[in-house]
Structure 1
Amino acid sequence: MSYRFVKVTTHYKEYLNDYYRRNGDVVHKTYQEQMQHIMAEAYGWADFFTTHLMKLGVDACEIIANALPLQQAWAQEHGLKSSGKNIVMAQLKALQPDVIFFQDSFRFNGEWITYLKEQVPSIKQVIGWVAAPHTADDIQQFKVFDYMLTSHPGFRQQLKDQGLSMYQFNHGFEASLLPKISYNDEKSVIDCTFIGSLYKGEGLFNERVKMLETLLESNITLKISGDLPKAKPSKILLKQAAYITAKTLKNVGLTRVSQQIPGLKAAVHWTQIPQAPYYSENLIRVIQPPLYGINMLRVLSCGKVGLNFHGDASGPYAGNIRLYEVTGVGSCLLTDWKENLHELFELDREVVTYKSADECIEKAKWLLENPLERELIAKAGQARTLKDHTYEKRAVQLNQLINKNF
């Protein structure tokens, strides 16, 4: 079935800041030129879904809602002085899509989606995505979506129990990037790599940080790239005040008041008072700036072993994107054991798992000391990803879901 598809996404602010620092002149290009330039960086899902959907005969395009110079270029070319979500609304009115997939369902949900459906009558399906910790209020806002996708089996069941229509939809790897990843001599000197977020807080990456700090105390050579947040004392104090106020209102039966005040809305769901994040001196000393897109994949490909640690909110389930990126570039994946991981990869043949910091260190050392076995696992993992976990395969699955829901 032929239809018009638009994916609306937002990129991490840190990535966009880095991108525009490196590519200052790009802002002078046309909208299409800017879009092509940023997509060539292969950040996140980039344009992988739209590219493969177009091969299936779908009329597909992308919107990056928070790439401000890009969005302003579109507005100027269409004679508009709008900004933010107003530009997105104007773009969708112009495109008249049948199906919209909102990758950032925390920014686009609730009344805005309801209004969008009124303004763009061509819309037949609005799809949401959730793969991060969320509150009861978020769940209410998600109910405007016709259905949602998630890479997290736990979230799928939780939201399904709340009455949402949910589908399991895993991340993947873009095979067309392999020729662009330059394999070089660095591969022989990086023992283990880890690239990812190190934000601490409820449902975030507290256990990941602990694991990395423990690994740094071993004699394993570990290349870590990420962003250590620098929390301002004033911001922490405001969060603590919000937490105390929200809990006080709850204790006197006024939770509904908190939910109507923007500064307290999120604090209602916090289970502990916010604290400034602490990181060991070892981690602060060795960490290198975050890497994104094709540059990240190149460094992953240079590691003998690629480490993966799921976020705290993942619970007993595997499903983050790094599973497919590490295996896809041909590095040997060493990841935390999860009860559904065997559904994605064959354990000990395609990937290696651990259940504790000690086991992680032990297996990392064994893999480094046994290059033949390590390479066999890496090649098997890559073969599995290229067979079952590519974005080309995911696009076929997405197309089937969309046709099923017409």
Structure 2
Amino acid sequence: MKFLEYMSFYSSYLEELYASKPLLSSTPFQNQMNVLEADAFSGGHLFAPAMKQHGYDNTFAVVNCKQAQNAWARENKIPTELATRNQIICNQIDTIRPDVLHIADPVALDPRLLNECSWKPKLVMAWRAAPIPDDADWSNVDLMISTLGVCREKAMKLGARSVQKFSPAFPEFVAKKIANEIKQWDVVFAGQVGTLHRKRQQLIQHLIGMPEFQSKNRSLRLYLANWTSVTFDDAKSFIKPAVWGMEMFRTLKKGRIVVNNHIDMADNMASNMRIFETLGVGSFLLTEESDELAELFEPGVEVETYSCLSEMEDKIRYYLNHPEKREAIAKRGQVRCFRDHGLVARSQELDLLIKNYLS
């Protein structure tokens, strides 16, 4: 079977990557995809390469990567100066003729676009674990997968034919590439901070105010994206530019403790990528207490949790002062992550999901 996956990457990440590799845009489409895959941005959602081991003829593309999409158009004799982004996507679908089409961001790629394509896949899947526009039309989606119940419920209201709970994964090759990175900072947080992250703003402000960080007796690094609309007191010395791809994984690896906090809409569900990314690289994770976390990792054994900010503060101090216990938990978390939540294991789940749907 042919498996085609469409991704959507942050524009700021793509701009930085192509600026750092000025010749990349002139290379063939597949080479550009290989570079993006190797850098592992959103690697826990990129299933196409892993589906090859299950017998699929796999392809993936990034809908907002103009350089790569134009390269595909040139290679397929489509005049790029005349073709719109959506026309290139339709041409890809009609040319590749996938049996399974997986839209990893149905907001960036509106499934209504499929009405303009000649080829009709046997199965159209989509993933979403973030806000969904009220005017979305997902009647072309056969199967909507998400960690978040609120997203699955809304998907059905928007026309999706069926929904399934499904988690992202950790790309195992990342851990091997950064295995030699050493610990440099006591506490690390990396992620977005905006209007959808009120709890996260409170967490960051609390971290900044901890006496050991204020006095510089302990080190705190905050790698924040989209935070300029937020005001943090005394934050300047702690906030660093956002990190993406392999640099983000290296940053998590360098932290003795990585603190995690979910988007507000998660509603007490353990779902975000930082859980898998942190444990996958072998770092100690301190994340919010959640009803669902125990389904993924065992609290106190493979991951540590906090129920309030004061408890988070107490546990940061405890585990910085007890490195043996901290690293033992981190090691057990990595073993579990590889076993149950790596791309190898999760792609098997996805293969079974596809076959069950098509049977």
What is the TM-score normalised by the length of structure 2?
Answer: 0.92
Q: Does 1:353 align with 2:305?
A: yes
Q: 2:174 aligns with which of 168, 173, 177?
A: 177
Q: Are the equivalent residues in 2 in contact too, given 1:193–1:224 (CA < 8 A)?
A: yes
Q: 1:305 aligns with which of 257, 260, 265?
A: 257
Q: 1:329 aligns with which of 281, 288, 305?
A: 281
Partner Cα distance (1:14, 1:80) in 2: 27
Aligned-residue Cα RMSD (Å) equals 1.8
Partner Cα distance (1:35, 1:47) in 2: 15
- 1:149 aligned residue: 145
Q: CA 1:184–1:106 in 2, change beyond 3 Å: closer, same or farther? A: closer
Q: Are the equivalent residues in 2 in contact too, given 1:190–1:302 (CA < 8 A)?
A: yes
- Give 1:211's aligned amino acid: L
Q: 1:209 aligns with which of 201, 217, 233?
A: 201
Higher gyration radius (CA): 1
Structure 1 unaligned spans of 5+: 231-276
Q: Are the equivalent residues in 2 in contact too, given 1:154–1:317 (CA < 8 A)?
A: no
Partner Cα distance (1:102, 1:133) in 2: 16
Partner Cα distance (1:205, 1:47) in 2: 21
Partner Cα distance (2:16, 2:101) in 1: 28
The runs of at least 4 consecutive aligned structure 1 residues that moved more than 6 Å come to none
- 2:85 aligned residue: 84
The number of aligned residues is 348
Larger RCO (CA within 8 A; separation ≥ 6): 1
Report sequence identity in percent.
28
Deviation, 1:155, is 2.5
Q: Are the equivalent residues in 2 in contact too, given 1:47–1:62 (CA < 8 A)?
A: no
Q: Secondary structure at the match of 1:32?
A: helix
Q: Deviations over 1:127-151 (max 9, x none)?
A: 111110124323xx12320110102
Partner Cα distance (1:120, 1:163) in 2: 20
Counterparts of 1:271-290 in structure 2 under 5 Å?
A: 277-290=229-242
- Give 2:235's aligned amino acid: L
Moved more, 97-106 or 143-152: 143-152
Q: Does 1:167 align with 2:164?
A: yes
Partner Cα distance (1:184, 1:50) in 2: 28
Q: CA 1:47–1:227 in 2, change beyond 3 Å: closer, same or farther? A: closer
Counterparts of 1:3-402 in structure 2 under 5 Å?
A: 3-45=1-43, 48-81=46-79, 82-116=83-117, 119-121=118-120, 123-138=121-136, 141-160=137-156, 164=160, 165-185=162-182, 187=183, 189-199=184-194, 201=195, 204-218=196-210, 219-220=212-213, 221-230=219-228, 277-402=229-354
Q: Secondary structure at the match of 2:3?
A: strand
Deviation, 1:208, is 0.4
Q: Are the equivalent residues in 2 in contact too, given 1:351–1:381 (CA < 8 A)?
A: yes
Partner Cα distance (1:46, 1:32) in 2: 20
Deviation, 1:319, is 0.6
Partner Cα distance (1:46, 1:359) in 2: 29
Q: Secondary structure at the match of 2:64?
A: coil
